[in-house]
Structure 1
Amino acid sequence: MRANQSSPAPAWTRRGFLQASAAASAVAAPDVRAASQRFAPTWESLVSGYRAPDWFRDAKFGIWAHWTAQCVPEAGDWYARNMYIQGHAQYEHHLKTYGHPTQVGFMEMNHRWKAEHWDPDALLDLYVKAGAKYFVALANHHDNFDNYDSKYHGWNSTRIGPRRDIVGIWAQAARKRGLRFGVSNHAGNAWHWFQTAYGYDAQGPLAGRRYDAFKLTQADGRGSWWEGLDPQDLYTGRNMVIPDGFTDPKAAADWHAANDGLWHVPPPANTPAFTRRWFLRCRDLIDSYRPDLLYFDNDGIPLGQAGMDIAAHFYNASMDWHGGKLEAVLNAKGLYGERRLAVVEDVERGSRDDIQPQPWQTDTCIGDWHYSRSVFENHQYKSAATVIHILCDVVSKNGNLLLSVPLKGDGTIDSDERRTLEGIAAWMARNGEAIYGTRPWRRYGEGPTRVGGGSMSESATQPFTADDIRYTSKGGALYAIALGWPQDGRLRLTALAQDSALAPGAIERVEALGSSAPLSFTRSRGGLEVRLPEGLAGTPAVALKIRGTGLA
């Protein structure tokens, strides 16, 4: 789905790009100068100057509110795109529930998004209880709607729908609880992703009649809820419009998948105004909310030089905010070579197969990214045990877990989601010592289950077993986490066998986290064998703290 960043960035200079933006855009570019200029907008500068901050390396676990108007229909991921593809389940849902997309387009979902039961303080209390050390709010998705008080984009949550500054309110609630705060920006892909809105039905009584995005102009909004706004600013303009003549819905869907469904990273050649506005919106987001983390849903830095300018500005601004100390985390995907030194790489719904030399992050969701009623009704969310196992695996390999918990359009979560969070909270309250502030040991772990490396590999990984062990270390102690309960109540650690090159010294003490009582153990050439407390039977994962010589 997502292509590698293979196209070269436009040969713009920083000054040239900004001068072009100011001259050709209806909105004026802000002053791009920062007090700190340690970072220039080049890969070479980012690679040579960046190091992931300790707060991120210590935090290990964050929770993400991946929340937009696409949650209103409760029909799952990518509703804003798929509701315009005849034959797709979300098209059928939209037709039945709201009307035909020639008359009721996705912009109407933004109007229907009221967030009427949203209680950010209660949600953040639950996330903190679950063990999150940072929180990320979605600032905009591929549907090109800003969830904040955007100075350069009228299609935003203070003017439409919730009529509140979603990002600002999240930021205040998160920081009040001592959490680091992040934002995710997905709008760099909107210029191609949203082109289905300019399509048409291939069959039926409205065959050939273009959908709402194709015809609407600012003038059409007089007297309506969107008066003064131009729908083309939301839908991004006619960049990759499907040609006339398709009579087979599947063939039309295949055209979209092959053309406007690609994960383009370079800026759109025919609509430079989109890139200019994206730059202004993203810079406004950074300057207004001062995030600790900025997540790009892109392979590499999005939109060529515009994205590089944003990356350098974010790092320089972070140094200004923190007295010369760089505290910023920038997430991007699909990186290679030295570029993994310039940002913190994110691996969507996947892991790594071994310890990574640089800190990294996996992001996953307990269900669909956008709220799905069917996932709830069929009880298909990830269990607390599954999330805990992913967390332990990722942390053992020098990574962090960013977990999305989908919100309904009204701003609430359902009972199954709450149950998963409460299960995570119970485990983290006892075993968080083996997670927070740790670093990888000499080996990430042992056991039969092999984890597929890379993006979207999550579904290929078999469930972990009690024979799967993950190791972390901190303060001279080694932590061994069994991803299940062994049937005989004995845990065997082959990496800690007598005369092991990994642990050549003596094992002096073993205890289960949450209890200061020492556990009995024996050590042989076959491994370290520990009898586990019977009271822990049934726990999703058993964490041991091991002390001795030569373990650190």
Structure 2
Amino acid sequence: MATLEPLDPSQLPEPVDVSDNSRALSMVKEVIDQGPFEDTWSSLSEYRVPRWYRDAKFGIFLHWGVFSVPAFGSEWYSRHMYLEGSREFDHHRAEFGDQKHFGYKDFIPSFTMKDFDPDEWANLFRRAGAQFVMPVAEHHDGFAMYDTDRSRWSAARMGPGRDVFGELMAAVDRSWLIRGASSHRAEHWFFMNGGAKFDSDVLDQRYVDFYGPAQREEVAPNERYLEDWLLRTVEVIDKYRPQVLWFDWWIEQPAFEPYLRKLAAYYYNRAAEWGREVVINYKEKAFKLGSAVYDIERGAMGSINPEVWQNDTSVSRNSWCWIDGQDYKSAPGIVAELADVVSKNGVLLLNIGPKADGTIADEERDLLEKIGSYLTRNGEAIYGTRPWKISSEGPTDRPSGSFVDQSEPAYTSEDIRFTTRHDAAGEYVYAIVLAPVADGSVRIRALGTGSGLMTMSVQSVSVLGVSEEPKWSQAWDGLEVDLPSDQSDLFGPVVKVVLAPDGSSA
């Protein structure tokens, strides 16, 4: 059995009184009333996705929190440890004892983040090629990673005893990246309800402000909870000014609808005051089309989407937070996922899970460094691009929808994703090959004269990151490119094709 020091109730900070929200709600209404956005879907539909986000293509997500102390199962440990019959329930009793005497709260003293170095983290994310950073502000467990005035249960007052969220945001600024924040607070309404079904510390009145309502999923959240959700989110907006705000799925519950409109109008109006362009990410149908950016969890589109969208996924298949026994994806698989997303007008938000001591696992560092190395060489085909006429060619299908990343497609050198860009010098098409090329040449069928896609002639062909000009020829059935010898044995090459109007010199 593990020996961890449980929480000492005598050392708890004093509870925070949030019974009267009238003044804070009046402030929210005042910001909404001042415009330019009203809290109506018709007004919010006037929102436009900023160019910086369309160009960014790649961000880092972070699931960090108390759940990294038990490091078992997933970031849902705080729920599953109270569900009789689950692996986590049995594991908890075997390792830590009865949930009445050692509950989830008792992991907090061991969540120290003693080796947390925010500037080192931000520099790693910058080397990885990320353009924005999205730490979890509060997960379903109700433990805030930021300095909140609405709860004593936060990293600023307990565990690390510091505003780790704020420190990371400041480091992100220093690295010239963009701040983001995710809120998973909505799900806290029901998240610990398993512990209300037997004699556990969830029923201890001393900790009710942590374990939350612990209500049944079938019961809609009441107005007081919804107001608290709104004001906690407003607090994150005003204290930290994130330019991306991400929400998990449960906000699609009908009870949240008027509060979502208020939140979006408030955020967009605050951003107008700051002179910043911002993004809200949502799942399912929580927001009306065009009022925010649609997000697919561990997902993919089947084809080019007319509106920019986002895929949030993780370096691990089996957990978003740090656990023992991660099932990691490969660096080439993540790069292929990035290329697939970008070719279909999407942005990839890639998650890592730091440890309880504030360090990032070597395996996750290695993945980020490899992705960064690839983007240093081939980023021209990713950043600032737009979808081409088609997104892809090749024999390997990638399933569309949510939760489709549990296995890695066996891509071949015939599997290609396309992006494009325009500037004063001309139009470019990038053919991103998703696997190393074994025989020294690649045939790009979409760029053949018989594809029906080539309304402009090929002016020149090059391979990104290679100074040597390749030999190439265009035929009815494809563009054949002989690759230089110094190709990566890990990633496929990226072929850059410069197009010229018909009649121009080739």
Deviations 1:472-519 (CA, angstroms, capped at 9, x unpaired): 111321111100123212111111111432113221211111124321
* Partner residue in 2 for 1:191: 189
The 8 Å contact of residues 437 and 492 in structure 2, kept in 1 or not, is answered as no
* RMSD over aligned Cα atoms: 2.0
Deviations 1:240-289 (CA, angstroms, capped at 9, x unpaired): 2xxxxxxxxxxxxxxxxxxx3x7x9xx51xx4322221111111111111
Q: CA separation in 2, counterparts of 1:89 and 1:497?
A: 55
* Partner residue in 1 for 2:265: 312
Aligned mate of 1:157, from 155, 158, 161: 155
Q: What amino acid does structure 2 have at the position aligned with 1:81?
A: R
Offset of residue 238 of structure 1: 4.7
Aligned mate of 1:523, from 465, 469, 474: 474
Cα distance change of structure 1 residues 300 and 237 upon mapping to structure 2, 3 Å threshold? closer
The 8 Å contact of residues 192 and 202 in structure 2, kept in 1 or not, is answered as no
User: 2:320 aligned with 1:369, yes or no?
Assistant: yes
Offset of residue 304 of structure 1: 2.6
The 8 Å contact of residues 183 and 294 in structure 1, kept in 2 or not, is answered as yes
Cα distance change of structure 1 residues 142 and 299 upon mapping to structure 2, 3 Å threshold? closer
Normalising by structure 2, report the TM-score. Answer: 0.89
Aligned mate of 2:142, from 144, 156, 168: 144
User: 2:20 aligned with 1:26, yes or no?
Assistant: yes
Identity of aligned residues (%): 35
Where in structure 2 are the equivalents of 1:425-504 lying within 5 Å? 425-459=372-406, 462-475=409-422, 476-504=427-455
Q: CA separation in 2, counterparts of 1:121 and 1:346?
A: 28
The 8 Å contact of residues 132 and 179 in structure 2, kept in 1 or not, is answered as yes
Offset of residue 79 of structure 1: 0.5
* Partner residue in 2 for 1:62: 59
Where in structure 2 are the equivalents of 1:505-544 lying within 5 Å? 505-544=456-495
The 8 Å contact of residues 321 and 352 in structure 2, kept in 1 or not, is answered as no
Offset of residue 27 of structure 1: 4.5
Aligned mate of 1:410, from 357, 366, 370: 357
User: 2:222 aligned with 1:233, yes or no?
Assistant: no
Q: CA separation in 1, counterparts of 2:447 and 2:501?
A: 11
Unaligned runs of 5+ in 1: 1-23, 201-209, 219-230, 241-259
* Partner residue in 2 for 1:217: 205
* Partner residue in 2 for 1:329: 279
Number of aligned residue pairs: give it. Answer: 473
User: 2:129 aligned with 1:131, yes or no?
Assistant: yes
Deviations 1:29-81 (CA, angstroms, capped at 9, x unpaired): 4211228512112222212x111101101110001111111111111310000
Where in structure 2 are the equivalents of 1:249-398 lying within 5 Å? 260=217, 267-268=220-221, 271-298=222-249, 303-322=256-275, 327-335=277-285, 339-367=288-316, 368-375=319-326, 380-398=327-345
Q: CA separation in 2, counterparts of 1:42 and 1:111?
A: 44
Q: What amino acid does structure 1 have at the position aligned with 2:211?
A: Y
The 8 Å contact of residues 450 and 461 in structure 1, kept in 2 or not, is answered as no
Offset of residue 460 of structure 1: 6.2
Q: What amino acid does structure 2 have at the position aligned with 1:282?
A: T
* Partner residue in 2 for 1:119: 117
- Specify the SS of the correspondent of 2:486: helix
Offset of residue 537 of structure 1: 4.3
Q: What amino acid does structure 1 have at the position aligned with 2:416?
A: I
The 8 Å contact of residues 76 and 369 in structure 1, kept in 2 or not, is answered as no
Offset of residue 405 of structure 1: 1.0
Unaligned runs of 5+ in 2: 1-17
- Specify the SS of the correspondent of 1:479: strand
* Partner residue in 1 for 2:15: none
Deviations 1:68-117 (CA, angstroms, capped at 9, x unpaired): 11111111310000111223222222222222111111111223211111
The 8 Å contact of residues 299 and 334 in structure 1, kept in 2 or not, is answered as no
Q: 4+ runs of 1 displaced by more than 6 Å?
A: none
- Specify the SS of the correspondent of 2:325: helix
Q: What amino acid does structure 2 have at the position aligned with 1:40?
A: E
Offset of residue 299 of structure 1: 5.7
Q: CA separation in 2, counterparts of 1:300 and 1:490?
A: 50
- Specify the SS of the correspondent of 1:275: helix
Q: What amino acid does structure 1 have at the position aligned with 2:49?
A: A
Cα distance change of structure 1 residues 419 and 177 upon mapping to structure 2, 3 Å threshold? same
Deviations 1:406-459 (CA, angstroms, capped at 9, x unpaired): 111111122211221121121111111111111111111111122222211223
Deviations 1:382-404 (CA, angstroms, capped at 9, x unpaired): 11111100000000000010000
Q: CA separation in 2, counterparts of 1:160 and 1:57?
A: 38
Q: CA separation in 1, counterparts of 2:66 and 2:349?
A: 21
Normalising by structure 1, report the TM-score. Answer: 0.82
